[in-house]
Amino acid sequence: MRLEKCWFCSSTVYPGHGIQFVRNDAKIFRFCRSKCHKNFKMKRNPRKVKWTKAFRRLHGKDMTQDSTFEFERKRNRPERYNRNVTMETLKAIKKIDKIRVAREARHHTMRMKGKKGMEQKAAARELEQDISLVKAPLALREKSSLTLSKIKVKASQPQAEYPMEE
């Protein structure tokens, strides 16, 4: 029994799932589900299809190089069955998975760093510039509490106010 990788989306194909397509040059394409199979038949390039692992790795959304990936490399040599080795391997798989998930989460936070600051800046700018989309400028002149202006002026002094239309 072997867990394969889907050619299109790179997810694991468990036994009993999926279709394998053998091309006449003897290259085998394995697919985890008909979604990937149909995309392949449509001749879509997985590197351009946003939800695949190939796209995500290529565009830096998921981490590419890590020592935890070395453990998952394909080995063609069959191992002699040894119960101790099997138990140790099972424990190791769990541990490696935990480490890998933690590293991926860290990669994600590093990627998203500074997003909140950017969002807040963009929101403040939008509030300043485009408040006229929400409230009419005449209404803003009357009620100064609706503006973000730092100088609080009374409505009776029009020259000290910021004009809302740029």
Partner 1 sequence: MAAFVASKWSKVGPPLLDNLRSSRLLEPFGKFQDIASPGWNGLLFQQLRTFIQMRTKLKVVDNSGAKWVRCIQALKGRKGARLGDTIIASVQEAQPRGKVKKGEVVYGVVVRAAMQRGRCDGSEIRFDDNAVVLVNKQGEPIGTRVLGPVPHELRRKKHLKILTLAEHIA
Binding site for partner 1 (CB under 8 A): 1, 13, 15-24, 26, 28, 38, 41-42
Q: Looking at residue 110, what DSSP letter applies?
A: H
Taking the least distance from each CB to partner 1, the nearer of 28 and 110 is 28
- Give the nearest distance from C-beta 22 to partner 1 in angstroms: 4
- Give the nearest distance from C-beta 24 to partner 1 in angstroms: 5
Residue given tokens 């510039």 in the structure block? 129
- Tell me which residue of 152, 125, 148 sits closest to 135, measured CA to CA: 148
Taking the least distance from each CB to partner 1, the nearer of 34 and 129 is 34
Give the integer Cα–Cα distance in Å for 144 and 129: 16
Burial of 128 (0-12, 13-18, 19+ CB in 10 A): middle
Give the integer Cα–Cα distance in Å for 18 and 37: 9
Taking the least distance from each CB to partner 1, the nearer of 19 and 153 is 19
- Give the nearest distance from C-beta 95 to partner 1 in angstroms: 29
Which tokens go with 121?
Answer: 């800046």
Taking the least distance from each CB to partner 1, the nearer of 14 and 71 is 14
Give the integer Cα–Cα distance in Å for 25 and 16: 25
Taking the least distance from each CB to partner 1, the nearer of 42 and 112 is 42
Give the integer Cα–Cα distance in Å for 150 and 112: 31
- Give the nearest distance from C-beta 28 to partner 1 in angstroms: 6
- Give the nearest distance from C-beta 152 to partner 1 in angstroms: 57
